[in-house]
Amino acid sequence: MIYPGTIHNHQMPVTLQEIIWHKKLEVAKMQQDMTWASLQRQLSSAPTVRDFSTALQQSIYKPSLIAEVKKSSFYHSLIRPDFEPVTIAQAYKRGGASCLSVVTDKKFFQGGFDHLRAIRYRVAIPLLCKDFIIDPCQIYLARSAGADAVLLIAAILTDKELKNFLRVIYYLGMNAIIQVNNLHDLDRVLELEDARIISINNQSYSDFSSNIHITQELMDARRSQLQKLGILVISESGIETPEDLSFVAEAGVQTVIMGESLLKEHDLELAVKNLLQSKFPIHH
């Protein structure tokens, strides 16, 4: 018989609640170490914003690609041991990625704002800050590190927080990408007046498994409303093959975010080129 006390801590699956619990501690510590004046100074010397959504819309590839710079994830452990953020970002750009997603969470993904900063000065395409945003100070820090867009996860924010954070992001001249993985959250986001980019996450927040049919399901349910509102839709998580890419494209998304399947390849530039130039039929 297994008693709860015999379960070792490292065997317990990570939950979204646990991530947020740690994120709250991280944010509290960040705020302790920071003054308003130093934040303002950092912001005023931040590199200018690049236009994330225009870069996606002007891509010659349909769907366009946001390639993700991510060293590891708690659910799939170390993805790329020879992780060099700038080298990876440069290869992605040469391959044809329109924008990059840079994971900045340290504890669960081994990312950091320093990755964002380093890439910003060396690679000339727009950058998304991929983190668990629960406080406006993270948005300010993302901007000062050179982010052009910030991810907001609908499942961890109230409607009021979503509205406030959107306002901060737009005030700083950036784009917001609002992530949803179910119809309830998609409908909440559609109620917001100024959502412009929505990302359908194919991932479950309970076991972090991915299923690209989530994209099809949500698109089938709200395709006309999304079109009418002129919202740019992204599909992310678990997109691995050219077939997966055309599957979500046929469901109606304009862009994909891909990380792990690219990062597993030795030659990243070639991996991106092969993916974007693969001739799978896409019917519209």
Ligand X SMILES: O=P(O)(O)OC[C@@H](O)[C@@H](O)c1c[nH]c2ccccc12
Closest by Cα among 111, 67, 130, 96 to 258:
67
Which CB, 118 or 151, lies closer to ligand X? 151
Nearest approach, Cβ of residue 151 and ligand X (Å): 6
User: What are the residues binding ligand X (CB under 6 A)?
Assistant: 68, 70, 103, 109, 130, 201, 203, 210, 236-239, 257-261
Cis peptide before 81 (omega within 30 of 0): no
Rounded Cα distance, 173 and 54, in Å: 13
Copy the structure tokens of residue 73: 């994830």
Which CB, 175 or 210, lies closer to ligand X? 210
User: Are the C-beta atoms of 165 and 157 separated by less than 8 Å?
Assistant: yes
Nearest approach, Cβ of residue 153 and ligand X (Å): 7
Which CB, 26 or 236, lies closer to ligand X? 236
- Cα 167 to Cα 100, 116, 136, 174: the distances in Å are 23, 22, 10, 10
Nearest approach, Cβ of residue 45 and ligand X (Å): 27
Which CB, 130 or 222, lies closer to ligand X? 130
User: Are the C-beta atoms of 66 and 56 separated by less than 8 Å?
Assistant: yes
Rounded Cα distance, 246 and 251, in Å: 8
Crossing angle for the helix pair 136-144 and 113-122, nearest 10 degrees? 30
Nearest approach, Cβ of residue 3 and ligand X (Å): 34
Nearest approach, Cβ of residue 111 and ligand X (Å): 8
